[in-house]
Chain A
Amino acid sequence: MAKKLKRKTQKVHIAFTLNGEPCEVAFAPHKTLLEVLREDLNLTGTKHGCELGECGTCAVLVDRKPVLSCLVLGLTVEGREVTTVEGMQLADGSLHPLQTAFADLGAAQCGYCTPGFLLTAKELLEKNSKPTRDDIKEALSGNLCRCTGYIKIYEAVELAAARMRGEAAEVPEEVVLGLK
């Protein structure tokens, strides 16, 4: 199957901040940020959902704002700051309160949409430390989940927000009554 090498792919080379660390990467210029992260940087925590900007599964933060990484070219993040789920941990290496709350409540079921939800919620809590249920729904309305029915996700965001405000927040008791 040896073929003549007649193609010439010109890669572009950019530098940006990825999860708080300097990063340089070379890639074919047509690649989306999603593809650069997953294929060239091997950070597959950012998921591939629709490549049409419809499901929110690929959301990452660029300069702390949620961006659908399937809709932007990798080239556009030159010099900017990108955060993926792999970089959500706090500076001391501990999990972000949102991560802990999602795990505590089982807000991740199949888990495929979870990174997108976490990053979108992270930005919400940075803007609004005490969001109402409606604020949360509005902020997360671009992220699809087919497993959970969303309610546990809202509860996890509320729990994380309370913990981040320093309030003593308990994991809500699961409402499955009738159990002996």
Chain B
Amino acid sequence: MVDDEKNQKPTGDQEYEDTVVNIEGRRVTVRTRKVPPLPDWTETEIVGKALPRVDGIDKITGRAKYTYDIQVPYMLYAVAVRSPHPHARVKNISADKALAAPGVHGVMLPQDVASYTTAGLPLLTLNPKYTGEEIAVVAAETELQAEDAARLVKVEYEELPFVMDAELSKSDKSPVKFFPEGNFIGGGFGRHPIGKPSVYSRGDVEQGFKDSDQVFEETFTTQPQQHSCMEVHGTLAQWDDDQLTVWESTQGVYGVQEEIARVFKIPLSSIRVIGTHMGGGFGSKGGAGKQTALAVMMAKRTRRPVKMMLSRHEDYMGVYRPASTQYFKIGVKNDGRLMAIQLKTINPVGAYQSGANWGSCAAMTTEMYACPNVHTEEYAVFTNAPTPSAMRGPGNTQNAWGLEQMMDLIAYKLNLDPIEVRNRNDVKVDQVTNEPYASKGLAECYKMGAEKFSWEEKRRRRNDPAGTKKHGVGVASQIWGGGGGPPATAIVKINQDGSVNLLTGAADIGTGTRTVLSQICAEELGVPVNRIHVTNADTETTPYTLPSYGSITLASSGPAVRSAANDAKKQLFDLAAGSLGVKPDELSSKDGFIFVTRQPDKRMKFESAAAGMPERDLVGRGYRGPNPKGQALNAFGAQFCEVEVDTQTGEVRVLKFVAAHDSGRVINPHTFASQVKGGITMGTGYALSERRLIDGNTGIPVAASMLEYRPPTSLDAPIDIEVYSVDVPYKANNIGAKGVGEPPLIATAPAIANAVFNAVGVRIYSNPITPEKIMLALRDGKTAKQTA
């Protein structure tokens, strides 16, 4: 990770400067080299085209190898022994029987790994604090042998009191004391003292409420959400003497490499991490997992390669987006202007302090709308549950459920169009930092979305009072980072036949990174995309980049790729200029030709120029430069939704979504639309069906399978989704693009909840919106506050 202390002053002629990168809502200052600016692309040939994915054929033939698919000779399988109790002390532990079992090559106990932690968590523990926490690990020749032997590890537990409820944990009645200072800490990254919430404040909310015409107070709750990646978390570790190779299903090979180096104090050069193909991440695979360190250690001990893939059940006992309770109080003028917002959030974050990083969700409330008086208080509360992680749009996705329903509620009470209320509170300046947005197309999103959705017409429609299937429409908005930033490096190698290798450390987690980076490279070089072969996410062959999180990948690695391609192109132009009898800066390239800009018929083939390279190849380097100073870099969007609610069954069907997003330049409409459609479907699950349940009486997860957790199937997903880009110019990086990975999920669930309210007049304050909650709310003729 980025470490400020490492960023020493340069002594050479390379100039560096500090720049701010927004990663998952936290602003990180990094030192980065200045890079020469490139002219804006005005007309593009390859960028902006809906080209098929460059790795499509690998994926549809089964050739693409994922971590789970890698098999090496003498490979062992590792399986964890996990605590069956939510809180316990291990009195005795014995591995004797397990070690004697067939095929077993090694067992690791907590005392074997006591000096190691990863991401603030013990690798194995004698004091489990949640059901499923790792106690021991067994490695055997087959998975079945390892599973059988894991059951033979004899563990005697003393069960201890546990607490699952955040409010109880936070109170002085909690049966468990996690820290002497209390059971909660300020939510979010940064150092917070235990026992105090994290607070953000501007203006004077009390005065703001006094100045308001109306004040609304509501409480919203969100369920934990689980990533449910189709490929579970897992690692294969292989030592060859002191060289370690790790295959990891990850969003960031360099993050994994750095963590292994930190944990085991071995040089980075000795660690190769490969994560070329991976089966989905959604935030859960941002760095090394416990299984990474355990597989590496077990491989060292047994002198055999060790594969440790979690089972689907274990996967569901692991990381997740934390739940939230959001206490809102908003004061408004009768014209819809926000005068004061007070928000308290309770975020249960499991049993370890590192979980508090994700125990924050108020950021969107502080920045989305104009409001002079804002006060937020966030409590990350410890409970006997697993540690959460980032999940697609962490924080804002929870917060949008509350905030965007509040905006809808305010519009309803003031008898205003929900879009009008949002427009009246629109801002051009970041409300927290006072920096102007580099670009903001939210008003365009409302306009285009409303038009494509026929918003006004559909809002005027009335349901047949006698009918049992009620239609309703809703809208919600979103803000997210997505501006990306350094560090990200790319290498472009032109071969003597004119073919090109693009090397980038960036992960392709299903988003289309390989494809869009190839397009950027091809555009800058002026060659067809099929001349580019991209290699990615391998620490030995591809250069450094931050992990693919925070929707930063395109806006971080994309500009680095363009710079690298430009560097390579300039070197080739130096050679071609002689042949064409002009100066290098008089040349351009397009469609596989290098030509004199003012005289396009004076040209040579790209490969002919390459054939003349004395060194037989040339290498272009590109670095992601700094972000512009004093500007806020954010992606925006508005989503419109139509639902049908069956008043006899409480069932909600999502008929249509229209999503209008501002992500700057769209590099590939296919991959852009795929991100949005996939995000909306995940958000539909968050709104309607997904629920991770832990039994409060036993502390045991009871929905730890796909069947019970219920990610949307083809029958649950929205029937139709239309995707629009408002294409507002963005100049904060040299490709003009912002990220779109996370934004589509943020607005989806509240848009559905608002549409449900519009359809049947009941507001559901807790997700998922189950038929039961709707039926109870309809029966009681009021809003379903108490039906969590």
Contacts and interface: CB of A to CB of B under 8 A. Distances in A.
Contact of A109 (B65, B674, B726): B674
A179 B678 CA distance: 20
Interface in A126-165: 136-138, 140-154
Given A54-B707, A141-B714, A179-B725, A44 B62 contact: yes
A111 B69 CA distance: 13
Given A144-B711, A148-B677, A112 B52 contact: no
Interface in B723-774: 723-727
Contacts of A15: none
Interface of B: 48, 50, 52-53, 55-66, 68-69, 71, 102-103, 105-106, 142, 144, 227-232, 277-280, 282, 302-303, 309, 311-312, 448, 452, 509-512, 660, 666, 669-674, 677-682, 705-707, 711, 713-715, 717-718, 720-727
A56 B60 CA distance: 16
A51 interface: yes
A174 B510 contact: no
B230 A146 contact: yes
A156 to B, nearest CB: 9
13 contacts: A7-B102, A39-B71, A44-B66, A51-B312, A84-B62, A103-B60, A105-B670, A111-B59, A142-B713, A148-B678, A176-B724, A176-B725, A177-B725
Given A45-B62, A106-B56, A111-B279, 14 more contacts: A47-B66, A47-B69, A48-B68, A85-B62, A103-B53, A103-B60, A106-B52, A110-B231, A110-B509, A111-B277, A141-B714, A146-B282, A149-B674, A150-B714
A114 interface: yes
A46 interface: yes
Identify the interface centre among B65, B103, B312, B666: most chain A CB within 10 Å of its CB: B312
A48 to B, nearest CB: 5
A79 to B, nearest CB: 24
A48 B307 CA distance: 14
Contacts of A89: 61
B714 A108 contact: no
Nearest to B660: A178
Contacts of A88: 61
Interface size class of A (residues with CB under 8 A): 35 or more
A50 interface: yes
A149 B678 contact: yes
Contacts of B303: 1
Contacts of B682: 146, 149
A114 B714 contact: no
A149 B654 CA distance: 13
Closest 6 CB pairs of A and B: A45-B62, A110-B510, A112-B279, A111-B59, A149-B681, A103-B56
Contacts of A46: 62
A28 interface: yes
A111 B512 CA distance: 11
Interface string A98-124: 011011111011111111001000000
Contact of A54 (B61, B681, B706, B718): B706
Given A38-B69, A42-B71, A57-B230, A86 B62 contact: yes
Given A106-B670, A109-B510, A178 B279 contact: no
B523 to A, nearest CB: 15
A125 interface: no
A109 to B, nearest CB: 4
A104 B774 CA distance: 41
B705 A54 contact: yes
A113 B277 CA distance: 13
Contact of A50 (B64, B142, B705): B705
Contacts of A115: 62
Contacts of A100: 60
A114 B279 CA distance: 10
A146 B229 contact: yes
